[in-house]
Amino acid sequence: MYCHKDMSNLKNRKEVIKMSELSMKMQELMAQFKRAREIQLTPFKNNVVLMDKIPELATAIFKEEFGINIKIKEAFPLVFIFGWKEIVRFCHAQPTNEFAFEVCGVRIEYRTENSESDKPRNIVPQLIHKSTPIFTHQSHDEIIGARSNQAVAEKYQAWRTNNLTETVDKIERDVMATMANDFGVDLMVSSAVLPMMAATYVAGLQIARDTKQDINMYNVFEISISSNDAVILNPYSIIKGNIKNDENKEK
């Protein structure tokens, strides 16, 4: 028979084993998420600007504005990519073929492209730089406890108001779910999505202006700075590869 002490020791050992197994499963899950992030960003793995400089600059911009330190550096590129994918999906879901939507300082427009005979062909996407999202250095109080999510959401809302940013809840909810379920990135609240996309865009703009080089923003679009400092955006595969109403090509 087991004495009370033996039973207690056995129970403790079982709990230790259970905790150890749980820890191993969590480590395996984190490793899977890390691998998923790496696979998604494989096309850019040798690009120092896209994998290091833009995420680092976006992280610094975000921390200064909101007091939030995003520790997973791939979070900004991933939110930017999937945010734009959801925006394209949102545009395609509109009942009219020609449609425009402005987000994070960029206006996406779908316009009818005519053939040489002036017959309508495709609805093609165009991107126009409208403004550089505003981020400033703020002083921050430490946020702890149950109010953290609410306090963070309030900061994001204040930024939206300052930047006159449209809100599309479904886009943000879907991106937040993708980040959590596919890549292990917890954004805390869905309203983090647009500010993170904007910070990534601002980082790309800054590097393009500083280096005078064209910057491929993760195959979403390319940033070019003209001789008179105008911003030119050229859509890439994520946007250009999804031509609205493509079946209406001239037969």
SS (H, E, C) 74-85: CHHHHHHHHHHH
Q: Same structural domain for residues 123 and 205? A: yes
Q: Same structural domain for residues 18 and 36? A: yes
Q: Same structural domain for residues 177 and 201? A: yes
Task: Check residue 83 and give its pLDDT.
Answer: 96
Task: Check residue 247 and give its pLDDT.
Answer: 44
Instruction: Report how many domains make up the chain.
Output: 2
Q: Same structural domain for residues 83 and 12? A: no
Q: Same structural domain for residues 35 and 159? A: no
Q: Same structural domain for residues 116 and 206? A: yes
Task: Check residue 28 and give its pLDDT.
Answer: 87
Q: Same structural domain for residues 34 and 75? A: no
Q: Same structural domain for residues 20 and 117? A: no
Q: Which residues of the chain have pLDDT under 50?
A: 143-147, 246-251
Task: Check residue 115 and give its pLDDT.
Answer: 58
Q: Same structural domain for residues 35 and 107? A: no
Q: Same structural domain for residues 120 and 195? A: yes
Phi, psi at 217, each rounded to 5°:
-85, 70
Which residue, 214, 178, 215, 222, is CA-closest to 196? 178
pLDDT in tens, 39-58: 999 999 999 999 999 999 99
pLDDT in tens, 62-97: 999 998 889 899 999 999 999 999 999 888 888 887
Rounded to two decimals, the pTM is 0.83
Q: Same structural domain for residues 29 and 150? A: no
Range of the domain at 34: 1-40
Task: Check residue 249 and give its pLDDT.
Answer: 38
Phi, psi at 212, each rounded to 5°:
60, 30
The rounded distance, in Å, linking the Cα atoms of 73 and 75 is 5
Q: Same structural domain for residues 167 and 116? A: yes
